[in-house]
Structure 1
Amino acid sequence: MIALALPAAANEGGFVPPTLEDMHLPEILPWMAPYGEGFGKQMLLVLLSVVLISWFFIAAARRRQLVPGKLQYLGEMSYNFVRNSVGKDIIGERDFKPFVPLLFSLFFFILVNNLFGSIPLIQMPTTSHVGTAYALAGIVYFTWIVLGIKKHGIGYFKLAVVPSGVPKAILPLVVLIEIISTFLVRPVTHSLRLFATMLAGHLIIMLAAAGTQFLLVDADFWLKPLGILTLAGGVGMYFFEILIQVLQAYVFVLLTAIYIQGSLAEEH
């Protein structure tokens, strides 16, 4: 009923809700894409995130001191968080060190690209584009599969899908479920969890902003007080979205560490 009312309101000059197309700005260099995807704002922000992350940690490590300054302390604290709280605690003290660079890079890349959605004038989390989420999850997917084969040989696939202690009568059904959940569902949910959360959160902020503007500027006088409520709700959602952006970066990397640990484990 609401979906039918919105187009009618738009045709009558009323409230026009934001759409997914509003998140995809015109391409900056369309000639770079012979197959339809040019160089746009999303790609520019991805490159900017790499520059910003590289600059920050190079600057933090440039003048290392026994008593660290603020920048060095922040850089060391950030690195130690990923190293110890994710890598060491999840993968294990014996095996975690080779994977710290991957976990570290994923966490800060996702974090910065998520936070772009809350920065004025930028206001677009690049991870709300499904291609970014698919690419990141794809890297993780092939990483833990290759690690499992390297550790256990071709027998890794048996370890991954044949749980120990399962009665033979239901073993075929359990193996089928494990194959689907491990090799098909896992990479999809790993990517879509990040993409869908960032997309939904950004759309809510856009909707709150558009609703506030309409109620305060264009709506009838008796509706204008509702604009104050919409504005307050939008501000609350803005700060809640920042929290979600940080948590989603952590959850993505945490799951990556869990998948790597599972590939290295002797039993499942």
Structure 2
Amino acid sequence: MSTVATNLLLAASGDDGGFHPPSIAEFFPAGFLFEGTPFEINRIILVRIVAAVVLIAVFVIAARKAKLVPGRGQNVAEMMLDFVRVNIAEETLGHNARRFLPMLTTIFFAVLAFNITGVIPFLNIASTSLIGMPIVLALWVYVMYLAVGIKKFGVGGYLKNNLFPPGMPKVLYVLVTPIEALQVFVFRPATLALRLTANMIAGHLILVLCFGATHFFLFSAGGALKAMSALSLTAGVAFTLFEILVAALQAYIFTLLSAVYLNMAVEEEH
């Protein structure tokens, strides 16, 4: 039911009542505050603000009410924190896990919160479905893995470790080094942002398509076509559950890859 609000707006727009497939225009809503300025606020910005406020409030409340014997809510929060610490940070970074744990925990819960808004009624769009937020998070990872690598090895040592893989015939560096340079300085941050955005865009379009079709079949189609609304509604509910899984999975993948890149920046050889 996360796209009900969108469908009601379409139905009330005064058009011919036909079926309207989702389009990319949904990810570029009109601003309603500070229009035409760098501080313009539109629907997606508002969803991001709501997600951030709720996320901060949840952890502030959990921290203030923390007990030696945790309750149900505290237990869930601690399980999720332990998941990031053990299954991502420690397994990937080893002895460096503690150093990067605050960053990785922030990234995981931020991406999860911004993703899950796609299935929240009346928000019904993932905050990460517009590439600005994924770019900000990817740039944070990019700057960090460059900074920690250069700090440990120096500029020359960092470039040598990353652009000249050991054990390879020197003549092949002519081919390998440009590819490694693109991977280190372009592909890693770009794919982090693009992977997350593409998955959230696809999920939103599928949900709007299913629930938009349900609205059309139920209220606009005639005869036996009305029965198709049950099929499209079932598909919509199934994809909603799947989108919740994707939201969590993308948060895990983004954080895991961030940990992998940080580990590659500080280890001796790749």
What residue is the counterpart of 1:147 in the other structure? 148
The alignment status of 1:103 with 2:73, answered yes or no, reads no
Picking from 25, 28, 31, the partner of 2:29 is 25
SS across alignment from 1:124: coil
Q: Which residue of 1 aligns with 2:43?
A: 41
Select the structure with the greater relative contact order (CA < 8 A; seq sep ≥ 6): 2
Query: Could you tell me which residue of structure 2 aligns to residue 256 of structure 1?
Result: 258
Report the Cα offset of residue 13 of structure 1: 6.2
Pairing of 1:79-94 with structure 2 (within 5 A) = 79-92=81-94, 94=95
1:69-101 per-residue CA deviation (whole Å, 9 max, x = no partner) reads: 222212221211111111111111x21112111
Partner AA of 2:112 in structure 1? L
Aligned to 1:61: 63
Structure 2 match to 1:125: 126
2:131 counterpart letter in structure 1: V
Cα distance in 1, alignment partners of residues 67 and 190 from structure 2: 44
Instruction: Call closer, same or farther: CA 1:23–1:174 in 2, change over 3 Å.
Output: closer
Aligned residues of 1:61 and 1:75 also touching (Cα < 8 A) = no
Question: Structure 1: which 4+ aligned runs deviate by more than 3 Å?
Answer: 11-14
| 1:243 partner amino acid | L
1:201 to 203, 227, 234: 203
Matched with 1:165 is 167
Q: TM-score, normalised by structure 1?
A: 0.90
> Match for residue 8 of structure 1?
none
What's 2:241 paired with? 239
2 CA distance for matches of 1:55 and 1:38? 24
Task: Show structure 2 runs of 5+ residues with no match.
Answer: 1-14
Q: Which range moved further: 234-243 or 175-184?
A: 175-184
Maintained 8 Å contact 2:148/2:265:
yes
Cα distance per residue 1:30-68 (max 9 Å; x no partner): 34x435x61122222222222222221222122332211
Tell me the distance in 2 between the aligned counterparts of 1:67 and 1:34: 50
TM-superposed CA distance for 1:182, in Å, is: 2.0
Q: Tell me the SS of whatever aligns to 2:197.
A: helix
Equivalent residue pairs, number: 255
**AA at the equivalent of 1:106:** I
Unpaired runs of at least 5, structure 1? 1-10
Identity %: 38
- Alpha-carbon separation, structure 2, partners of 1:224 and 1:86: 48
Distance in 2 of aligned mates of 1:12 and 1:61: 52
Question: Is residue 25–residue 41 contact of structure 1 (8 Å, CA) maintained in 2?
Answer: yes
